[in-house]
Amino acid sequence: MRKINPTDYDLVKQFIDGNDDSIDTLVTRHRDRVYTYIYLIVKNHQLSEDLFQDTFIKVIRSLRMGKYQDNGKFLAWVLRIAHNLIIDHFRKEKQNNTFSKDDYELDIFNSSKYCEGNYEDELIQNQIHDDVRKLVDELPEDQREVVILRHYKGLSFKEIAEHTDVSINTALGRMRYALINMRKTIEERNMSLTF
Amino acid sequence: MNDVYTLLNLDRKNTGQEMISLMDRIANSDVFESVELVEYLDRFKVKSQSNLLHRILGFRQSTKNVNLKFPDIAEIALN
């Protein structure tokens, strides 16, 4: 019989033992503090949400790999992961001026307009990022997966192919269809994704 | 905690080396375990604009067959 108010350790243990719902409770329990920490540093909701997602995906992966040993400081551990991901983001931001480094995806993603350094246009840029994210979310699952892994996770097509167990050509093809579908939707809805 | 206060009050435009150095210093401290930080986060709570739980579940479901490879960064060696 499960406790009414399980500790973080109880929930971690349940998750490791195969109860996926336990991670939902942990996310819900700590989301405000973790999200607030990220937002107070990056001061941008879209970016904060992406970093929040990355943080908990890393938490989930680390738990599954047995890399967490409870010392009663689960929140501290999660905040540290978030902090390191923010540093990672800032380092990347400092190194790259553009959102994408790949010549393959020229139209939608590979634009200096997505450069984080252009703060005067930040509000418009955020709206465009939101719109692009919504377009991504509407893609068929296999295409959305490739776009997310390529653009939001920074994996190469070779890595995407390995991790999705398909050939590189298939991964490239899915990206191609994803871009075609996104452009089609942009045209149909007469969306403007430029400044 | 002083470094954290400095960091949180820095202008977002300032993402240069100064900010990264400060964040590195914080990463090497034990501030994440402090009650003061938790109280600060509770006092200045910011709500997200979307359902964060849904995002995580959605992502997990859309990539359920994918063994994500993350870059090796500091916290992987935490324990």
Q: What is the ipTM of this complex?
A: 0.72
Q: What is the pLDDT of residues A30-71, one digit of tens each?
A: 999 999 999 999 888 888 988 998 898 888 878 877 778 777
Cross-chain residue pair B26–A83, CB shorter than 8 Å: yes
Residue B44 burial (CB count, 10 A):
12
Q: What is the pLDDT of residues A127-145, one digit of tens each?
A: 777 778 888 888 888 888 8
DSSP E strands in B1-79: the ranges are none
Which B-chain residues 22-61 have CB contacts (< 8 A) with chain A?
23-24, 26-27, 32-33, 37-38, 41-42, 44-50, 52-53, 55-60
Chain B residue nearest residue A40, CA to CA: B8
- On whether both A87 and A28 belong to a single domain, the answer is yes
- On whether both A190 and A107 belong to a single domain, the answer is yes
- On whether both A10 and A37 belong to a single domain, the answer is yes
User: Which CATH number does the domain housing residue A143 bear?
Assistant: 1.10.10.10
- On whether both A8 and A80 belong to a single domain, the answer is yes
Mention every residue, 6+ apart, whose C-beta is less than 8 A from residue A28: B53
- On whether both A89 and A105 belong to a single domain, the answer is no
- On whether both A79 and A104 belong to a single domain, the answer is no
Cross-chain residue pair A44–B45, CB shorter than 8 Å: no
- On whether both A145 and A195 belong to a single domain, the answer is yes
Domain range enclosing A141: 98-195
Mention every residue, 6+ apart, whose C-beta is less than 8 A from residue B42: A32, A33
So what's the pLDDT on residue A101?
A: 32
| For residue A84, pLDDT beyond 90 | yes
Write down which residue in A32, A61, A95 finishes a domain: A95
Q: Which amino acid is at A64?
A: R
Looking up tokens 């607030």, which residue turns up? A36
Residue pair B21/A21 in contact by the 8 Å Cβ criterion = no
Cross-chain residue pair A36–B59, CB shorter than 8 Å: no
Percent of chain B that is helix, strand, coil (3-state, to 5): 55, 0, 45
Over residues A180-191, mean pLDDT: 80
So what's the pLDDT on residue A58?
A: 84
Count of domains observed in chain A:
2
So what's the pLDDT on residue B16?
A: 73
Cross-chain residue pair B62–A148, CB shorter than 8 Å: yes
d(CA A186, CA A131): 10
d(CA B57, CA B44): 27
> How many cross-chain Cβ pairs, A to B, lie less than 8 Å apart?
143
So what's the pLDDT on residue A114?
A: 47
Write down the domain spans for chain B: 2-77
Q: Which chain A residues contact residue B53 at CB under 8 A?
A: 24, 27-28, 31
Write down which residue in A77, A95, A113 finishes a domain: A95
Q: Please report, rounded to a whole number, the percentage of residues in chain A having pLDDT higher than 90.
A: 16
The highest-confidence range among A33-37, A91-95, A177-181, B65-69, by mean pLDDT, is A33-37
Q: Which chain A residues contact residue B69 at CB under 8 A?
A: 155, 159, 163
Q: What is the pLDDT of residues A152-167, one digit of tens each?
A: 777 888 888 888 888 8
- The band of A195, judged by pLDDT with boundaries at 50, 70 and 90, is low
Q: Please report, rounded to a whole number, the percentage of residues in chain A having pLDDT higher than 70.
A: 79
- Please list the ranges in chain B whose pLDDT falls under 50: 62-79
Q: Which chain B residues contact residue A141 at CB under 8 A?
A: 62
Residue A117 burial (CB count, 10 A):
11
Q: What is the pLDDT of residues A2-13, one digit of tens each?
A: 567 889 989 988
Q: Where on the phi/psi map is residue A190: left (φ > 0), alpha (ψ -120 to 50), or beta?
A: left
Distance between B49 CA and the closest CA of chain A, angstroms: 7
- On whether both A104 and A76 belong to a single domain, the answer is no
Of the candidates B70, B28, B79, B73, the residue with the CA atom closest to the CA atom of residue A68: B79
Distance between A81 CA and the closest CA of chain B, angstroms: 6
Write down which residue in A48, A70, A95 finishes a domain: A95
- On whether both A4 and A19 belong to a single domain, the answer is yes
Give first-to-last CA distance, chain A, whole Å. Answer: 57
So what's the pLDDT on residue A189?
A: 76
Chain B residue nearest residue A26, CA to CA: B53
| For residue A118, pLDDT beyond 70 | no
User: Which CATH number does the domain housing residue A12 bear?
Assistant: 1.10.1740.10
Residue pair A84/B75 in contact by the 8 Å Cβ criterion = yes
Cross-chain residue pair B46–A31, CB shorter than 8 Å: no
So what's the pLDDT on residue B78?
A: 37
